[in-house]
Amino acid sequence: MERFSGHTTISTRARLLAVAVAAAGMTATLPASAADAVNQERLLNVEKEPGNWLHHHQNYSAHRFSTLKEINRDNVKNLKVAWTLHLGGIEGGGIWSHGGLEGTPIAENGFLYVTDGWGSVYKIDAHGGRGVLVWKMDPKTDRDWAGAVACCGVDNRGVALWGDLVISHTLDGRLLAINKETGQVAWQRTVADPDKGETITGAPLIVKNMAITGVAGAEYGIRGWLAATDLTTQKEVWRTYTIPGKGEPGSETWKDSNNAAASGGGSTWVTGTYDPATDTIIWGIGNPGPDWDSAYRPGDNLYTDSSLALDATTGKIKWYYQHTPNDPYDYDSVAENVLVDVPGPSGPQKLALEADRNGFAYAIDRTTGKFVWGLPFVKKVTWTKGLDPETGKPIEYDPNKAVQTYIASVTPSRTNMETDICPGNMGGKNWPPTAYNPDLKLWYIPVIESCNRIKVEVMTPDKLKPREFWTGGGPSQPFRITGSVTAIDVTTGKIAQKMETPFPNLGGMLATPDLVFTGQPSGEVMALDAKSLQKLWEFNTGGGVNAPPMTFTVDGKQYVAILVGLGGAWDKWFIDSTPELKKIQPGSMLYVFAL
Amino acid sequence: MMNFNSFPAAPGMLLVSVVALNFSIGTTAYGQSAQAPASDPTNAGKAVFSKANCVGCHKWHGNGGGGYGGDALSLRKTELTRDQIIEIVGCGRPGTGMPFFMRGAYDEVKCHGMNRQDAGAQMPPEGGTFLRPKDIEAVADYVIAHIKGAGEPTYAECVTFFSSTSRVCDVYKTQAQKPDDAPASTGKGQ
């Protein structure tokens, strides 16, 4: 831990003194820590403290919707930078020349908790219209070890709060519990193993005294899982693999003789959601490996490319819905499932919404796992003619086929070794989160309007090596890629608006009663009208926006915060599709706006 | 003169065979067996290998390999000579993702007989840093001495490369056990 005590203003001195006292071992006597303790009651009722942002996705349903409206459609044009703070973590490591910022800040009682790509956690005092660093916890991530098997950047998407702890992950596979007052590591536990190609980039989901951890690494031949750690005993409560073991239900969907399931992918690197009414965790599952040589792994490859519902207490699988069986495109279904309740023809519908990398947005009945509606949210889809209106499966899906070909002329395969796909393999939407306005029933998707080119490599078991890519080919970028914000009316399952942008949306969304906020990798942060998506305000940060905005209050005043620092997969793998972004410099900065 | 027909059209992909490349560089002497092994006594070449981010695609071990951004050539299996490596590091490989690292390449200095205009769409990307001729020779010497022909990466090579406390090399201690030998269900408790 590093301490910063060089500030001498009257307004911060008392607070720094308190921190110093806490560090001296008197934490238990400080009334502040009891008042700030985060418990399940608070996590379930975040609407009672609208000035805070306690969950990674704002609430358990991943709405990323704030009821705060001091900043609104009428005055957002007056939004200005309130303060900024330079962070660190842009150093390279492994195959990466630099890190970036993809995190969502957590806000509680005037303090922000943010991370940089290497997993350093920063506690920032936002009182008094300025940001003062209280502490920084550097987990000393093993950069060469983890960075060499991070497919898609030096990334960390944020922390969670529990009790008097800040819960965070590191790229090299650890779960950390940090004392919220002092920034000292209370305890840590190894959850993922970079020796197997496993890394962690997502924020933890806290449910009933457990931290739920997802894993990345499908491009390196992992077998994906979700793991629950008891935050009192520090022990694992359950670990559920996203690829069934031999003889388990679903294992029959791996029909090969290569033991492909053992390295079959199914990552879980985007934080999921929780439905307390049924004690169900709903989590998006990534694609099968090897990515593009689907003939190596004939069968539907469950539970890859699925939305997976698990009993939160036991980790037992309740239901699944698979979007792209036997995926030959790298169309992860790793995205967050947004939980919404809308009026239906026969009573209220309890839906899970997911904007899939395959270019389709899905509404699933989250009680049964059955398909309700789906539609393309990108401008161009070439791999399928559409979804079956009953089942939601791609029309060309044939359950009797071991290797799906969909529209065979464009689908990567051993007989179509080089082909162009739309959306491109980064997907119509990648990890950047959607937002949902429950008043307007509008769901805002940060879209990558894309095509790219896939070259297939035929894989054989001897090519599978620890910590080496297991992709069965690779993409290239002969086409320009743009973006959009696309709003879907959840009551009709139709697109309500689309606001096109020159660059892909690599940051994600924030919704407020009459606005949505988002950014561009070319540097702009913007506010749009919630209904028309007309741009009402814009500020150029001078860096690349690669993280979602959020909002909070301090002493009754509303702020909008966003991390700025282009990193991630785009910079290394997809930059040729957006040549202007080559000019964007690595950076690491927190921007906070207010009226 | 280079024969550009031997390079794939897709930028960013490096799937062209080593043999085709060697035939395409007509001006350079062919036949690596006659070459005396070079060395890298001051580690200058290794430093360039890291600084110029060769590791970003070829990896620390030089084996490259297929992946998200295409397929970087294996420097362990390469048949390129020292002179050919120097030329490719300086000029890049037209039509592929291999960048050029020589200041002024394709502008003040023609590469493969071409300037920027001649190269057109085949123009390779510019490296993240420019290297002096001495640096380019050093990294070529390093590749020849420590990577080319080295077989599969070993633990000893890895710790020599990193000389740090990173666990990046641990996996090579247990290389004998391949992940596909592992049981499908490994249970909990890592």
**What is the DSSP code string of A207-244?**
ETTEEEEE-B-GGGT-B-EEEEEETTT-SEEEEEESSP
User: Into how many domains does chain B fold?
Assistant: 1
pLDDT mean across residues, chain A = 94
A251 touches chain B (CB under 8 A): yes
Cβ(A288)–Cβ(A304) below 8 Å: yes
- B169 located within any domain: no
Residue A14: pLDDT over 50: no
Show which of residues 93-112 on chain A sit within 8 Å of chain B, judged by CB atoms. Answer: 94-97
* Interface pTM, i.e. ipTM: 0.74
Residues near A122 by Cβ (< 8 Å), separated by ≥ 6?
A85, A87, A112, A113, A114, A115, A116, A133, A135, A136
A168, A170, A164: which is closest to A182 by C-alpha?
A164
**Amino acid letter, B128:** G
Residues near A35 by Cβ (< 8 Å), separated by ≥ 6?
A109
Q: Write the pLDDT tens digit of every residue in B116-146.
A: 999 998 999 899 899 999 999 999 999 999 9
Cis peptide before A343 (omega within 30 of 0): no
B121 touches chain A (CB under 8 A): no
> What is the model's pLDDT at position A25?
41
Which residues of B are less than 8 Å from A471 in CB distance? 66-68
How far from B57 is each of A86, A293, B9, B49, B71, CA to CA, in Å? 30, 21, 19, 11, 8
Cβ(A332)–Cβ(A307) below 8 Å: no
- B188 located within any domain: no
Which residues of A are less than 8 Å from B66 in CB distance? 457, 469, 471-474
Question: Per the structure block, which two tokens stand in for A411?
Answer: 């689908």
Known binding-site residues of A equal 102, 157, 201, 217-219, 287, 330, 430-431
Residue B30: pLDDT over 70: no
H, E, C per residue of chain B: CCCHHHCCCCCCCCCCCHHHHHHHCCCCCCCHHHCCCCCCCCCHHHHHHHHCCCHHHHCCCCCCEEECCEEECCCCCCCCCHHHHHHHHHHCCCCCCCCEEECCECCCECECCECHHHHHHHCCCEEEEEECHHHHHHHHHHHHHHHCCCCCCCHHHHHHHHCCCCHHHHHHHHCCCCHHHCCCCCCCCC
Residue A464: pLDDT over 90: yes
Asked if A196's CB is within 8 angstroms of B179's CB, the reply is yes
**Separation of alpha carbons B44 and B73, rounded Å:** 22
Using pLDDT thresholds of 50, 70 and 90, give the confidence band for residue B97. Answer: confident
Residue B188: pLDDT over 60: no
Q: Write the pLDDT tens digit of every residue in A481-509.
A: 999 999 999 999 999 999 999 999 999 99
Q: Are strands A185-190 and A174-179 parallel, antiparallel or unpaired?
A: antiparallel
Which residues of B are less than 8 Å from A227 in CB distance? 188
Q: How far does the CA of residue A33 sit from the closest CA of chain B (Å)?
A: 32
Which residues of A are tagged catalytic?
Answer: 330
Residues near A61 by Cβ (< 8 Å), separated by ≥ 6?
A273, A275, A338, A339, A340, A436
Q: Write the pLDDT tens digit of every residue in A370-426.
A: 999 999 999 999 999 999 999 999 999 999 999 999 999 999 999 999 999 999 999
Q: Write the pLDDT tens digit of every residue in A470-484.
A: 999 999 999 999 999
Using pLDDT thresholds of 50, 70 and 90, give the confidence band for residue B175. Answer: low
**Separation of alpha carbons B48 and B64, rounded Å:** 17
Q: How far does the CA of residue B33 sit from the closest CA of chain A (Å)?
A: 28
Using pLDDT thresholds of 50, 70 and 90, give the confidence band for residue B67. Answer: confident
A239 to chain B: nearest residue by CA? B188
Q: Write the pLDDT tens digit of every residue in B81-92.
A: 999 999 999 999
Using pLDDT thresholds of 50, 70 and 90, give the confidence band for residue A564. Answer: very high
Cβ(A547)–Cβ(A430) below 8 Å: no
Q: How confident is the model over A125-143, as a mean pLDDT? A: 97
Q: Are strands B126-131 and B100-102 parallel, antiparallel or unpaired?
A: parallel
Q: How confident is the model over A160-170, as a mean pLDDT? A: 98
CATH of the domain at A560: 2.140.10.10
Residue A249: pLDDT over 60: yes
How far from B118 is each of A221, A511, B167, CA to CA, in Å? 42, 50, 46
DSSP state of A171: T
- B76 located within any domain: yes
A471 to chain B: nearest residue by CA? B67
Residue B2: pLDDT over 60: no
Using pLDDT thresholds of 50, 70 and 90, give the confidence band for residue B72. Answer: confident
Q: Which of A144, A259, A478 sits opposite B180 (nearest CB)?
A: A259
> What is the model's pLDDT at position B47?
92
Q: How confident is the model over A104-108, as a mean pLDDT? A: 98
Asked if A148's CB is within 8 angstroms of B60's CB, the reply is yes
Sole residue written with tokens 């110093």: A20
Cβ(A422)–Cβ(A451) below 8 Å: yes
Q: How confident is the model over A169-175, as a mean pLDDT? A: 98
User: Into how many domains does chain A fold?
Assistant: 1
Kindly report the backbone phi and psi dihedral angles of residue A194, in degrees, each rounded to the nearest multiple of 5, phi listed first. Answer: -60, -20
**Separation of alpha carbons A396 and B11, rounded Å:** 31
Q: Write the pLDDT tens digit of every residue in B151-166.
A: 999 999 999 898 777 8
Percent of chain A with pLDDT over 90: 92
Q: How confident is the model over A434-454, as a mean pLDDT? A: 98
Q: Write the pLDDT tens digit of every residue in A294-344.
A: 999 999 999 999 999 999 999 999 999 999 999 999 999 999 999 999 988
Question: Per the structure block, which two tokens stand in for A173?
Answer: 């596979």
Reported as type and span, the H/E element at residue A497 is strand A494-501
Residue A66: pLDDT over 50: yes
Using pLDDT thresholds of 50, 70 and 90, give the confidence band for residue B40. Answer: confident
Sole residue written with tokens 């502040």: A32
**Separation of alpha carbons B27 and B164, rounded Å:** 41
- B168 located within any domain: no
Cβ(A541)–Cβ(A81) below 8 Å: no
Cβ(B168)–Cβ(A169) below 8 Å: no
Domain region containing A241: 2-594
Which residues of A are less than 8 Å from B77 in CB distance? none
**Separation of alpha carbons A233 and B46, rounded Å:** 46
Q: Are strands A360-365 and A347-355 parallel, antiparallel or unpaired?
A: antiparallel
- Dihedral angle of Cα A398, A403, A407, A411, to the nearest 10 degrees: 160
- B183 located within any domain: no
- B175 located within any domain: no
Domain region containing B17: 4-152
Which residue, among A296, A469, A479, would best test binding to B if mutated, counting the most B CBs under 10 Å from its CB? Answer: A469
A193 touches chain B (CB under 8 A): yes
Percent of chain A with pLDDT over 70: 94
> What is the model's pLDDT at position A35?
57
Residue A10: pLDDT over 70: no
Question: Per the structure block, which two tokens stand in for A11?
Answer: 């307004």
